[in-house]
Amino acid sequence: MTKWAWSPAWQQKDIEIKQKNLVYDGFFKMTEFHLRHRCFSGEWSPWLVREQIRRQDAAAILLVDLTHETLVMVEQIRIGLLGTLEKSPWMLEIVAGLLEPGESAEETIRREAQEEAHCQVSHLVKIGEFYNTPGGFAEKTMLFCAQVNQPQMEEGGVHTEHEDIRIHVLPIQDVLTAWEQGAFASSASTVIALQWLKEKMSNRQLASILKP
């Protein structure tokens, strides 16, 4: 691993929690913290009230068909877009899903690729991992890429989970061009994956990276 000069100024022990209340327990869990923390000056901050939203960590995958030079993407309704300035709450994005208890990120994303996009995934390439919105959300996403054969079906998702998903097989260059021109809004995992894809294609590294 490359030697890295930065390290955080303080640790978990440098936060003092006076009170912790679970204020909502649904699809997400919201916890209200009454806390104070060390400042860069070394002094303590005032007592603060902050909320944290938590659920399982997630995994996402960029599905690439190199033979046909296409991406396999999915479209589904995203409640987070309701009431925003977006024209539609239906979003085009890469396959993603939440980790089940006892499941690894690799196991999760193989399952999700099959359920959402009818794609069989074997060799996985890890792009990276990130916290989606660390200002208040505890969720971390593990991001992957894989070479697949494009599916023949147009609908995906698990009906018992009320998933309503449309599968899109799109030319790679068309997706990159549309994204660069701002033709569609998407998730952070999709944007990061497309940035990674563009870099690897410009360096002509994609085929060798995805080769088992």
Rounded to 5 degrees, φ, ψ at 61 are -145, 135
- The yes-or-no verdict on residue 12 having pLDDT over 90 is yes
Question: 16 among the known binding-site residues?
Answer: no
pLDDT single digits (tens) 66-75 = 999 999 999 9
User: Residue 77's pLDDT band (boundaries 50, 70, 90)?
Assistant: very high
Question: 112 among the known binding-site residues?
Answer: yes
Question: 155 among the known binding-site residues?
Answer: no
- The yes-or-no verdict on residue 161 having pLDDT over 90 is no
pTM of the prediction?
0.92
Q: Does the annotation count 129 as an active-site position?
A: no
pLDDT single digits (tens) 99-132 = 999 999 999 999 999 999 999 998 999 999 999 9
Q: Give the domain 58-210 fold.
A: Nucleoside Triphosphate Pyrophosphohydrolase (3.90.79)
Q: What is the DSSP string of 114-175?
A: HHHH-----S-EEEEEEES-TTTB--EEEEEEEE-PPPS-SEES-GGGT--EEEEEEEHHHH
Between residues 46 and 152, which one has the greater pLDDT?
Answer: 46
Rounded to 5 degrees, φ, ψ at 150 are -60, 140
Residue 197 DSSP one-character state: H
Structure tokens at 21: 């209340």
Domain-wise residue ranges, the chain: 12-54, 58-210
What confidence score (pLDDT) does residue 212 get?
A: 83
Query: Residue 162 burial by CB count (10 A; 0-12/13-18/19+): exposed, middle or buried?
Result: exposed
Q: From the candidates 100, 106, 115, 161, which is the catalytic residue?
A: 161
User: Residue 41's pLDDT band (boundaries 50, 70, 90)?
Assistant: very high
